[in-house]
Amino acid sequence: MKRVIIGSAVLVVVGVAAVVGVTAQRRAAAEAVEYGWEDCTGPFVEGVPTLADFGPEIWEGSPLRLEPFTDVGEAVITQAIDETGEGFFLTAQAGMVFRVDASGTAEPVLDLSNEVLVGDEQGLLSVAVHPDGSYLYVTFTDQQGTVHLDEFSLPGFGNRRDVLTLAQPQKWHNGGHIAFGPDGYLYATLGDGGGLGDPFRNGQDPGNLYGTMIRIDPHPVDSAAPYLIPADNPYVDDRDIKDEIWAWGLRNAWRFSFDRVTGDIWLGDVGQNCVEEVDVIPAGAREGANFGWSNLEGSQRVRGTIPEDAVLPLFEYSHLNGGCSITGGYVYRGDGIPELGGMYLFADYCRGEVMALELDAAGRPAAVWKLGVKANLLTSFSEGPDGEIYVLTKDQGVLKLVLR
């Protein structure tokens, strides 16, 4: 049994390992076998740590619990209003934005319910506050199923502007998560457009924005453009790849987060019927990672040849181990539960059990812990200004992870 590391000093310094590509030898080995992705028979590219490799272990640290915070139903995402810790903006899938104070009292502040199409993976999907506190950004699917990224002025929501729209060929895999990075730019994940097996082959077509993470300046100063593209985006001036793209080859990265200490980006990319994956983009990486979908589902070969530039997951788990859809979380950096310091918290929508991925000194997976807390229909995680972690659910509202 692996020892629980008390405190996070070592992991804070080390951060995550570099992204792992597919060597020619490993690619050839996987391509030499006929693939059978419909029934999850592989073949898999060897070397990616899986849930089965670690048990997972039963948490040996201090007992934890999920404490009720606010009872807003169909909660999707929260965003701290500012660094004071005075409250959050909280979205509900049906189209409402609430302001929630530090005590958990929720007040509706923006109603988009007449515009939002709700169902399956559609609805009001995410919210983010501009670093200067002057603007609120939301993503949602409209009545025609088109994904919108809209800007509202704060504090009164008086001015509204459409920043970006993307028509959706199907009602699944709309992505929709947005967050500002440490660099002040807005990052957004966009799903592959839906359908079994990526029928439009969007995953490996970076000539469009489906199946990508994009990075933009959503409020350009002295420009008529709805948004600007940072000059250091990896594919600027590449005629075959959209300038907005920061990473691609994603199926539906429903939730991602920034490690507030290292700046690494952690993505939970929802699999099809076999593999759920955790992908990481280390801080400072500029190469524009291709995570392989839809030629790869996690490390499993789905079709054709494996892209030469494919980046493998840091960690994955099979549906054979239980679960159906990963809910990506955060690297824990709070003070309330020091034993979790530096561990990545995540869950599965079907299991609802919160787990922690622990890294070793080299930044590679070393253990997976079942934390002994569970929530039904767990849709998302959020991080408070103090680094504490909240769990969002469809039918239990928002819960805070605390010591028992």
Quick one: pLDDT at residue 372?
98
Least confident interval from 15-19, 150-154, 209-213, 347-351: 15-19
Quick one: pLDDT at residue 10?
36
Q: What is the mean pLDDT of residues 360-367?
A: 96
CB 120 within 8 A of CB 171: yes
As a whole number of angstroms, the distance between CA 212 and CA 173 comes to 11
Strand residues in 302-385 grouped as ranges (E): 311-312, 315-318, 326-327, 344-348, 353-359, 365-374, 378-383
The residue extents of the domains of the chain are 9-403
* Residue predicted with more confidence, 287 or 147: 147
Helix (H) or strand (E) holding 9: helix 9-14
Q: Is the pLDDT of residue 277 over 70?
A: yes
As a whole number of angstroms, the distance between CA 67 and CA 106 comes to 16
Q: Is the pLDDT of residue 12 over 70?
A: no
Quick one: pLDDT at residue 84?
67
Quick one: pLDDT at residue 18?
67
- To which residue do tokens 């392989």 refer? 292
Confidence band of 11 (pLDDT split at 50, 70, 90): very low
Q: What is the mean pLDDT of residues 184-197?
A: 94
Reading across the β-sheet that carries 178-180, which strands appear in turn? Answer: 178-180, 186-190, 212-216, 245-248
Q: What is the mean pLDDT of residues 31-59?
A: 89
Confidence band of 109 (pLDDT split at 50, 70, 90): very high
Mean per-residue pLDDT of the chain: 91
Q: Is the pLDDT of residue 60 over 80?
A: yes
Neighbours of 12 (CB within 10 A): 15
Quick one: pLDDT at residue 123?
93
Q: What is the mean pLDDT of residues 69-87?
A: 82
As a whole number of angstroms, the distance between CA 114 and CA 94 comes to 9
- To which residue do tokens 């679960």 refer? 323
Quick one: pLDDT at residue 83?
61
Q: What is the mean pLDDT of residues 96-111?
A: 93
Quick one: pLDDT at residue 41?
82
Q: What is the mean pLDDT of residues 15-22?
A: 74
Burial 292-323 (b: 16+ CB within 10 A, else e): bbbbbbbbbbbeeebbeebbbbbbbbbbeeeb
Q: What is the mean pLDDT of residues 227-256?
A: 96
Q: What angle do CA 70, 77, 298 make, to 5 degrees?
A: 135
As a whole number of angstroms, the distance between CA 147 and CA 122 comes to 9
Q: Catalogue the long-range contacts made by 290-293 (C-beta closer than 8 Å, 24 or more residues apart).
A: 290/204, 290/206, 290/247, 290/248, 290/249, 291/247, 291/248, 291/249, 291/250, 292/203, 292/249, 293/192, 293/198, 293/203, 293/204, 293/211, 293/249, 293/250, 293/251, 293/269
Quick one: pLDDT at residue 176?
83
As a whole number of angstroms, the distance between CA 69 and CA 77 comes to 14
Helix-strand-coil split of the chain, %, nearest 5: 5, 40, 55
Q: What is the mean pLDDT of residues 11-34?
A: 76
* pLDDT tens digits along 224-233: 999 999 999 9
Neighbours of 205 (CB within 10 A): 20
Choose among 123, 66, 120, 135: nearest CA to 374: 66
Quick one: pLDDT at residue 87?
86
CB 95 within 8 A of CB 118: yes
Q: What is the mean pLDDT of residues 66-70?
A: 96
The CATH class given to the 9-403 domain equals mainly beta
Structure token pair of residue 273: 């019927």
Q: What is the mean pLDDT of residues 133-157?
A: 95
Stated pTM of the model: 0.94
Strand residues in 81-195 grouped as ranges (E): 87-92, 96-101, 106-111, 124-129, 135-141, 147-153, 160-166, 178-180, 186-190
Structure token pair of residue 374: 């569970």
Burial 241-274 (b: 16+ CB within 10 A, else e): bbbbbbbbbbbbbbbbbbbbbbebbbbbbbbbeb
Helix (H) or strand (E) holding 30: helix 24-31
Quick one: pLDDT at residue 136?
95
Quick one: pLDDT at residue 19?
66
Least confident interval from 19-33, 44-58, 299-313: 19-33
The residue type of 102 is A
Pairing relation of β-strands 87-92 and 96-101?
antiparallel
Quick one: pLDDT at residue 322?
78
- To which residue do tokens 């019927």 refer? 273
Structure token pair of residue 201: 């082959």
